[in-house]
Structures are given as C-alpha cells and as structure tokens.
Structure 1
Amino acid sequence: MFPIRRASAALALGTSVLLLSGCFAASGTAEGGGDAGDRVSVAMLLPPRSGLSPFSDDAFKLSRWRTAETLVQLDAAGDAQPMLATGWSRVDPTTWRFELRDDVTFHDGTPLSAGQVADVLTRATRASPPPRILDGVELTATPDGEDAVLVSTAVADPLVPQRLSSPQLSVLAPDAYGPDGRVDPAGHGTGPFRLTDVQGTAGATLDRYDGYWGEPAGVAGIDVSFVPDGTARTAALRTGTADVVEAIPPGQAPLVDDELVHEVPMPRTNTLYLNTDRGPFADPAVRAAAREALDRAALVAGAYEGRADAAEGLLGPALPWAAGLRDDPAYTAALENRPEPAPVDGVPITLGTFTDRAELPEVAVLLEQQLEAAGFVVTQDVREYSAIEADALDGAFDAFILSRATVLDSGDPVAYLASDFGCAGGFNLSQFCDPGVQAALDEAAGLEAGPERRAATSRAEAAVLGADAAVPLLHERVIQGESARVDGVARDPRERDLITTGTGVGAP
C-alpha cells in the first residue's frame, strides 16, 4: 500500500503548490537595509489564537521570532542563563534579586527599566487566565533601585529563575499594554527582530533591529506565514516558497529531499498509564505482564513510520541528561526489583485513548494486538479528549494511552512527575500513591536547578517505573524543514527558538 499512499500524497502536494501564492506573506525591507534575498521566510503550523498576547501560548511565536525576550533563558540542560537579566541571587528563601542589563532599549526607543520589568511581571499575575508558569504561584515583583528587581513568592520556590524564562513572561515596552487589558507586541519588544506588521491569522513581518543590545541579526528580516495545512507546508519547502517550515507531517517527509528535513526530539512521551487502584492492574504482577507484552519498536515503526524513539524511561532525548543517569546502580536496582510477570489467560481490560492526536488510535490498535497476544482481552474506548478526560482522571479505565508533555514551561520535569505520580497529583491517571515515590518527588522538588535536582529527578523516575505505574512507549519527534539556502536555524525541543541572530541565508 505504500506506493499508493505516496502517489496520493504527491498528487495532493502538486495541487497545493497552485495555492501557495495566496498563503505566504510578501517579503518586506528591513530597517537596517537588505532586500528579500537577505530575508528568511517561515511557514508556521498554527496562527495566533490570542492576538499575539505574550500572556498566552502565542508568546512562543514571539520567542521563536526573537522579537520578545525574557529575563532568563535556558540552556540545553534546563539551567537558567542570562538574557535581559545579567545575574541573580537568592536574598532569602522566598525572594530573588535580578540584576538588569543597562544597555537595552525597546523597539520604540524606550530604555529597559526596573520599574517596567516589575510592572510586566505584576500584569502577568493579574492576567486571565494567568500564564501557565504562574499557575498556583503567588508572585510579586518590585523595583530594587534602577537596575534590579526583587521577585518574591508566597512559599520558597527554587525554580524562580527557570519560571522567568517562560516566553509568557516576556518584557515589552510600556506602550504595549493598553487600558483594556490588550497587549500589542508590534514594535515593543527588545529582541534582534522588530515586529513591524501582523496580518491577522495570515502572517507577520519582522525586520532587523539595529539597536539590539546583543549580537546583531545575520538576516534583514523574517516573513512569516501561518499554514495549518501540512501538505501545503511541505509543498512550500519543496518549491522553495518557504525557507523554514514547522511540523512536516511524517507521511509527507518521504516526499522531501532528506537533506531538507530534520527530526527534533520533543519533550513528549507516549505513555501507557495502568490503573494501580482497582481492576486487574491493581496487582503489580499483572502490571508486569502488560509491560513485558509490549513491543516498542513495532509501535514506532507502525504508528510513527520510524520517526520516534523507543522509550527507555519517562524522560526522553529532549532532556539530554536523563539517559546518562540511568546507569546509576540505584536506578537499575529499582527496575531489577520489579515483580515477575503473572501468567495471563483471558484477563479482560479496558483501554482508553483519544482521537485529537492522530497517531494515538493507531497506537491503541497495535497495543491491543500485543496485549491480546499475551493473554489479555482488550476492549477499546476511543473518543475526543474533551469527552474522555474526566473518565480517565476518575480511573474509569484499566489502561490509558496519553501523549504527555514531560517538561513544562520551567524546563523542569519535576512538576510533570508530581502531577502524574504524586499522591496529590492533579493528573494521576494511574490512581497511584506510593510513599517511596512521594519521598523521591518531594526531595527533587526542594532542590535548586542543577546536577543534584536532576539526580533526584532520575531517582523519582526509577521509583515510578519500578512500580509499573506507567509504561513509557515512545518519545515523539517533530520534523522541521529547512531549505538549502538557510543555515543557523535553531532546532529546539522546547519550541522557544527558531530564527536566531546566527541564522543566515546564501545561495542554494
């Protein structure tokens, strides 16, 4: 059947090419000089949903265009690094002091000030809904002189610097914030690219900002088009209409030159949650039988066409430190001490998942086959996520397949582990509570970011896997397209960076 699918996709691509001229924004001219040949064209998956408000998920677009910036940025390990703040220190258990750069101007010429930073952070706490990174966090910000800001929380929070790296806490000029609560980022950021025009849900134009405090941009500007249709985005890459393309569908990737597609590991794990509270999987030995029945390689090949990574743990390649910590003797001991699988013959189980992510129903079919081969009798329940979430959280299923983000906006996985496997976790699909796991989670949550916190996080992961509360299946990837004329494009698992000051264009 593969040749037929390939031919159909090729026909669809050919049709899409006829429509591309109406999909892509026209190239502009940068304030620093240059013409269309110096610019980068980008085809993005989703249009803005909240008028590019930095308090919404649209903030990640502003970050990927490098037009809005935060006090802090994260390195590959998730550790905080300077951005608009040059450094920080912990004044007391609940207060941090952030020192600001003294050479930053907003795109409208206004200088960055401690008062404006404190005002923006205060506005974020009052936004409705508030930025995800502040969910459950009582935060206050006040100027400390002209070049520093004090950030306080109601309780001790070792992740305050990481929280301030969230694109939803980007700092914009005073004129960006209207009296009606609306926020206009156009011409009000601090990044190397100035947002000059927004064409609703069609596209956006950005020009190089020559007053940037850091390394100047290597291209004259960015021309963005929002192209939800995957076939059209792929065609844009093939025809050279776009230099950079978000999220090439896996089924379309074989139709593009291999040198133009790059697979980026995502902090997202496809996981089988097992109900540890009632039903067959309340027995650890039956959970072990389910775990041993699974063939991860077959899931990757069948549902993801080989474009995913078979899971060895809950935390995948997007967290580069996770794999190395699994060599620790305590980690391996936790897995070696798991119960032996029980013999299974005709054990009925209910398996739930949802249709909103296209691959999950196919994963469910493959898992059903694997589990039934091991002796389970599987009944599937597949619905839209909005219709199935409440039942899943109530423990209505013996097993549930979920594509789960393992790193939240702080760049740290402890909140995910606590939510899913803590005794008071708000997303505990496994109905799981274990004193040893809870102690490991509490230890990790109390440590500041760095090697000790990562080691404690790894021990918590091992404790969860040792109990077979969940069986990680695979780690997802996203396919990013880059034309032959562009280089220096970021391939960021957290989807915060895309076009950077190091991005350049040349002859194809």
Structure 2
Amino acid sequence: MKFKQTLTSALVVTAVFAMGAASAQTIRIGNQGDALSMDPHSLNESLQLSVTGNVYEPLVGRDKNLNLVPALASSWKQTSPSVWRFELRKNVKFHDGTPFTADDVLFSFARAAGDGSDMRSYTNDVKEVRKDGDHVVEIETKAPFPILPDVISLLYIMSKKWAEENQATRPVDRRKGVENAASFRANGTGPFRLRERQPNVKTSFVRNGNYWGKIEGNVINVEYTPIGNDATRVAALLSGQVDVIEPVPLQDVARINASGKSKVMQGPELRTIFLGMDQKRDELLYSSVKGKNPFKDKRVRQAFYQAIDINGIQRTVMRGAANPTALMVGPGINGFDAAMNKRLPYDTEAAKKLLAEAGYPNGFEVGMNCPNDRYVNDGAICQAVAANLARAGVKVNLQAETKGTYFPKILKRDTSFYLLGWTPGTYDSHNALNALMRCVDDKGSGQFNLGSYCNPKVDELTLQIQSETDKTKRDAMIKEAFKLHADDIGHLPLHQQALAWGVASNVELVQLADNFMPFRYMSVK
C-alpha cells in the first residue's frame, strides 16, 4: 500500500547540542501518559502499540513511509481469494532464546481473537490460521480479503512457550482490571527488550543485541517516563532531564523552538477525534431523561452536532493545530474523499429548535466521559463542548480522568457520551468502518463502536469493501458507507489533531504520521 507523500515524509531533527559521554546512547522520553500494559493484545491504543511495538513484532510491518514491509514473515502471497500464505523467518529467537516458529503465530492469532483481547477487530473475519511446517502459515478468511496484510500489521506475535509457562495465555482484560505476567513482563522478538517496568513511574528498555534485523540508530537504552503535567514535561525537556517529550503543549511551541537546546517537530497526524453517543440502551445510564434514550432520535444527535463550535475549538483550544472534519477518517487514509468533508453548520438556534422538536424544549442533562491525558488538549476540548452544549440548553456533567481509568470504563460501554480518537491501523477506511461503525457482535465487529450505532446497510457495504479489489468500485462503496453514517449522525466527528514532539537538539529520530515512535530509528549525536 502506497501512502501519500505529504503525510509520510519522515521529519528528522539532527543534533548540535553536546551531551555527556556517559549517557550518549540513552534516550529519555517523557510522555503525557503511560502504556497501560506490556501485553500487546490488551489495548488497541496507538500509544500502547507504539511502546510494545519496540519489543514485539507482527508478521508484516511498516517502514519509515508507512508502507508494508516484511517483519516476522519474510514474504507472503495470496494463493486463493480467501487464503494468504506467509513464509516465516528462520533463525529468529525471542528475547529468552526460544526459537520463533509457526506455533507462536497460531497461538498469537488465537489469543488476539479470544476473550479479553482488545485486538479482535483485526481477527473477526479470519476463519482459520494453520501451519505447514515450522516456518509457513496460511490464514484463511471468511470471504476474499485483499487487504489482510495491512489489517494484521499491528497484531504482534508472542511466544507460546513463554505465555504458557507464565500463565499469560489470555490477554490482560482492561475492562475487568485483570492482570497477569504479560502486564509487567515481555518476551518478544523485537529490536528492544523490556528491562524494567514500573507502571506510571518509568519503563526501561535495552537494545536487543541478538536482533535478527537492522537497527539504524545508535541508542542502547531507552527510559520512558509518564509526565502528565504539561509545564513539568516542558521544564524537563528544557532542563535536559529528558530528551524527547510528546505531546508539546501548543502554547509552548515557540518557547521550545527559541530555547536553542530543543526543537518542536510538527506534522499532520492521521488520528480523528470524535464524540460517540449511546444509541442502544432504552434509557441512558447517565441522564436526567428517564424511560427513553434521547440519542436514539436523530434530531438530538444533530442538535449536539450543530451546537459544537468546531472552528472556535480549533482557534482557542487547539491554537490552529487541528483540521475540523465531517468524516471519521482524514487525509492520508485510503478512501478519504475531500469532497465529502463538509460539516453541518454551527448553529445554536438550530440546535435548540431540533431539541424542541424532539421533545426537549428545555434541554436535558447528560454525563460525558473524557480522558485528560491521552489526546492533544483532550480535557479542554471536552470542556469547550460542554460549554457549547450549555448554550443550546444541554447540561453536560463532565467526568475527565486519566486514561488509566477512562479506557476500562468506556470499553465496558459504561458511558452515555464520550470522546475518543482513532487512527486506522491499516491506513484504510475499512478499518474505521469495521471497528467504529459496524454493528456490534461478539466476534470483534464494531469493537470500538462504543455507542452501538448500527445500520445494516453500512455493515453490508463494509463487507463488500473488504473484498473488492477494483479501486474505483471500492472507493464508491466507501463513499456510500460514509454518507449513510453521516446522514444518520452516527458519531460527531471533530478534527484531526497535529503532531508536536519536543526533541533535544542532539537527538535524531523519525516522526511518523501515525504517532508511533520506533526506538530503532533513534540516535544521540
């Protein structure tokens, strides 16, 4: 899959600021949040997958331009419309020395598809995974699936032997708070090993000296520290206590660039920030409305949409570092159609009228869940949305909290109204349709459709899009599915946020449009 050049050009910052020789091959990263687990199947969140992706690997990976490249599979081919054959690398070892074989692939796919896994939307259309000897795997899908290699590029392979020996055969279930050895320990095949895990304090990694592939950077040690407070994170960068921070508070970009010691790397991100609403329950869990669910009424959903001043949020909350959107995917994602990207107008009076027509002339109260340490200015976005809705007569009871408690709550669908961000892991519109807009089932379809929006025609189109190889026909189907979803007001899309990393002047790294941070490309000069 080729990727739009404007979004995949790697942004590289080269060093001029000297550093002590003793720490010349150590990178210290300060992020606003932590990976919630070292289990690669426990949370389908880009920060967690970015961190664990330095330790674990998929069959098919991505290069600096986000194009597909061989990883644990040295090659692959489609042997029939619904069967893919993967030749596995030989002489690859897990970090504990155990040889990598086809058994590990079969085990990992079954684990990712099982109870507690947050990766089931990547496996829900897989019929069977079977081996042909120790180094060949065939994946059969329920229907023709030409984008399967793209779909599994974030499904990381674990050691069957290690998982069994450490009672970690099932994923860590973030919804239930269940932990196991894979929460705190890791045994992958990747370029870095997990050295020490202190949740919410510090996680340390060390270069894998026996890695099968090439490690381009010179970094030996990586120290990853969550620093939730914006001012503290910036101060740590400017004082030299850390070498990289993410994200940079938008108000501090100019100050960091003027420091002479650090620079801000900025670029477009593929993530779309949106709001979801519970459209399934007959009565909302958190609302003043009793006996019915106002979000089942399209007029209410549209009222919420038109009450949101997205340009005001772009201007004041995001300081211009966001692109308002009407779609659940943005530029750079296959199937994105700029001609469709036209939002309904911001109109408070129209929102009030729609609410009155729906039977809520005085509005109503509703609870809203929001993280405050996951996306750029996420807490402030939710506060702005709440203020916008108040002008239309809706009182929002906002609960903003750390992602460590936020994600387990909303993943249980214990929410009425919520904010979420999504980067399609396949860089294709099918991913968003399958995970966010498809009717929910127990196999992984609609796994992150947390408000249970459902339109059978969208489901039908999603399956057709999955199998269609003719690009013109496929794009037309994607357009039709997105139009149905937009007409339904299935979600409330807000914007695509921009990337902003703070990097010490003596550090060289690669910034990718999916906001992943591969340690293998990092160097200290």
TM-score (norm 1): 0.70
Aligned match for 1:112, one of 94, 100, 110: 100
1:406 paired residue number: 422
Aligned match for 2:522, one of 485, 492, 503: 503
1:18 paired residue number: none
Instruction: Sort the Cα spacing of 1:183 and 1:346 in 2 relative to 1 into closer, same or farther, 3 A.
Output: closer
CA–CA separation in structure 2 for the residues paired with 1:314 and 1:145 = 42
Deviation at 1:486, TM superposition (A): 0.7
1:31 paired residue number: none
Deviation at 1:496, TM superposition (A): 3.7
Kept in 2, the 8 Å contact 1:77–1:320? The answer is no
Instruction: Sort the Cα spacing of 1:451 and 1:193 in 2 relative to 1 into closer, same or farther, 3 A.
Output: farther
2:228 paired residue number: 229
CA–CA separation in structure 2 for the residues paired with 1:430 and 1:197 = 39
Kept in 1, the 8 Å contact 2:28–2:222? The answer is yes
For 1:176-187, list aligned pairs within 5 A.
177-181=164-168, 182-183=181-182
Instruction: Sort the Cα spacing of 1:303 and 1:281 in 2 relative to 1 into closer, same or farther, 3 A.
Output: farther
Kept in 1, the 8 Å contact 2:73–2:87? The answer is yes
For 1:57-456, list aligned pairs within 5 A.
57=43, 60=49, 62-64=51-53, 66-74=54-62, 80-102=68-90, 104-125=92-113, 128-129=116-117, 131-133=119-121, 136=124, 140-153=128-141, 157-167=145-155, 169-172=156-159, 174-175=161-162, 177-181=164-168, 182-183=181-182, 188-199=187-198, 202-230=201-229, 231-250=231-250, 253=253, 255-257=255-257, 260-263=263-266, 265-271=269-275, 282=297, 295-317=309-331, 319-321=332-334, 325-327=337-339, 331=340, 344=353, 347=356, 348=361, 349-350=363-364, 352=366, 353-357=368-372, 358-368=379-389, 372=391, 376-383=392-399, 386=409, 402-407=418-423, 409-417=425-433, 421-422=437-438, 427=449, 429=451, 433=455, 435=457, 437=458, 439-447=460-468, 453=474, 456=477
For 1:10-21, list aligned pairs within 5 A.
none
> What whole-Å deviation, never above 9, does each CA across 1:470-494 have from its counterpart, x for those lacking one?
443322345322111111233342x
Deviation at 1:149, TM superposition (A): 1.2
Instruction: Sort the Cα spacing of 1:152 and 1:104 in 2 relative to 1 into closer, same or farther, 3 A.
Output: same
> How many residues in Structure 1 have an aligned counterpart in Structure 2?
447
Gaps in structure 1 of 5+ consecutive residues:
1-26, 29-33, 394-399
> What whole-Å deviation, never above 9, does each CA across 1:280-320 have from its counterpart, x for those lacking one?
99577x97787666542212123333332222432124x45
Q: Which amino acid aligns with 1:310?
A: P
Instruction: Sort the Cα spacing of 1:139 and 1:203 in 2 relative to 1 into closer, same or farther, 3 A.
Output: farther
Which deviates further from its counterpart, 381-390 or 36-45?
381-390
CA–CA separation in structure 1 for the residues paired with 2:39 and 2:278 = 38
> What whole-Å deviation, never above 9, does each CA across 1:33-80 have from its counterpart, x for those lacking one?
x95212322224444544x2333249625445x232111124689764
Two-structure CA RMSD over aligned residues (Å): 4.5
Residue 510 of structure 2 aligns to a residue whose secondary structure is: coil
Instruction: Sort the Cα spacing of 1:477 and 1:213 in 2 relative to 1 into closer, same or farther, 3 A.
Output: same
CA–CA separation in structure 2 for the residues paired with 1:224 and 1:345 = 52
Deviation at 1:429, TM superposition (A): 4.3
Instruction: Sort the Cα spacing of 1:443 and 1:256 in 2 relative to 1 into closer, same or farther, 3 A.
Output: same
Kept in 2, the 8 Å contact 1:79–1:449? The answer is no
Residue 165 of structure 1 aligns to a residue whose secondary structure is: helix
Larger relative contact order (CA 8 Å, sep ≥ 6): 2
Kept in 2, the 8 Å contact 1:420–1:429? The answer is no
Instruction: Sort the Cα spacing of 1:121 and 1:387 in 2 relative to 1 into closer, same or farther, 3 A.
Output: closer
Which deviates further from its counterpart, 476-485 or 272-281?
272-281
TM-score (norm 2): 0.68
> What whole-Å deviation, never above 9, does each CA across 1:146-174 have from its counterpart, x for those lacking one?
3311234566655542343225x234484
Kept in 2, the 8 Å contact 1:118–1:141? The answer is yes
Kept in 2, the 8 Å contact 1:163–1:410? The answer is yes
Residue 260 of structure 1 aligns to a residue whose secondary structure is: strand
